[in-house]
Amino acid sequence: MQQRTLGRTGRDVSVIGLGTWQFGGDWGPVSQDDAFAVMDASVEAGVTLFDTADVYGDGTSERLIGQWRASHPDVPLTVATKMGRRMEQVASNYVAENFRTWVDRSRTNLQQDTLDLVQLHCPPTAVFEDDAVYDALDALVADGSIAAYGVSVETADQALTAIARPNVASVQIILNAFRLKPLDRVLPAAKEAGVGILARVPLASGLLSGKYTTETEFPAQDHRNYNRNGEAFDQGETFSGVDFRDGVQAAQEFAAALPDGVSVPQAAIAWVVAQDGVTAAIPGARNAQQARSNADAGSLELPDGLDATVRDLYDRWFRSVVHERW
């Protein structure tokens, strides 16, 4: 598995990481055994980066990672967590006292004295512009509670604001074949500044697995059911904000453009990590088989013409819907 330096953290991580939102139950139930099997399979395939958050299953995802890591002390893992959604997402809640409380809880959950990387979890835009926010994060680095901090963002403009700050180590943003906006300015700016880019939702919540039809239904407790129109959180986090039926049809065109024998989700992930400026993609996996397949995308050679296919699909299906919104 290829390794890249994760921006200003200075740490090397695998180009394919593991997203662990699934461990929290927002995609239907995932058992402890399933979660451990996903982590085992990922690490066996060369993954050294896990992404989590303090709100995934109200800490369940962090605790599972903490338990797994404690029983695998020799694995050179980087765990990126997030904070900032345990209270109402208003700018006045993003203050030093709350950061301290949230970080200490994550340190307990993850069984780590010093967290590897803490990302602000898609806060309001004003938070990215507030000097006091960065001062408070710098203080957490200075006292050893966290080794580095980054941000997770909804929009390209938020990413650019954060990249301009001297100590922001990484930016997490939605980037996949159905969401190309970060290619315009965010990836070049991050590369220039030495800021890492974690590409989240690389499979457009599974659309780019190519396995859904327009008839596919999702369980009531799965965000692909309950947040399809942004009812619970930003619509962009579910199917990347694209219409499900359009996404299914575009994914079929994406699949049809691939050479025989190339898996759709692997090609989709390989395309993401081939974009200049991306440090790693962090696909989520429901089971060990998905985790293994996703990790193996790290060694897939990008099929000829795939980039042109992606840009054509984006222009025809999605640009008018998503490009200005996020």
Ligand X SMILES: NC(=O)c1ccc[n+]([C@@H]2O[C@H](COP(=O)([O-])OP(=O)(O)OC[C@H]3O[C@@H](n4cnc5c(N)ncnc54)[C@H](OP(=O)(O)O)[C@@H]3O)[C@@H](O)[C@H]2O)c1
Residues that bind ligand X (CB under 6 A): 19-22, 27, 51, 82, 121-122, 152, 172, 200-206, 209, 211, 237, 265, 282-286, 290, 293-294
Q: Is the dihedral of CA 211, 213, 215, 219 positive or negative?
A: positive
How long, in residues, is the chain? 326
100 vs 105: CA distance, rounded Å: 9
- The tokens describing 241, both together, are 């904000």
Kindly state the smallest distance separating residue 284's Cβ from ligand X, in Å.
2
When the beta carbons of 56 and 134 are compared against ligand X, the nearer one is: 56
Torsion over CA: 249, 172, 321, 308 (sign): negative
**Of 281, 303, 306, 305, whose CA–CA distance to 294 is shortest?**
281
Shortest distance in whole angstroms from residue 82 CB to ligand X: 6
Q: How far is the CB of 202 from ligand X (least distance, A)?
A: 5
Write down the least CB distance from residue 49 to ligand X, Å.
Answer: 10
Place of tokens 């994914």: 251
- Nearer to ligand X by C-beta: 28 or 139? 28
Nearer to ligand X, 36 or 139 (CB): 36
Contact 276, 187 (CB under 8 A): yes
Least distance (Å) between residue 197 CB and ligand X:
13
Q: Is 82 exposed, middle or buried (0-12, 13-18, 19+ CB in 10 A)?
A: buried
Nearer to ligand X, 112 or 172 (CB): 172
Q: Which is nearer to ligand X, 101 or 289 (CB)?
A: 289
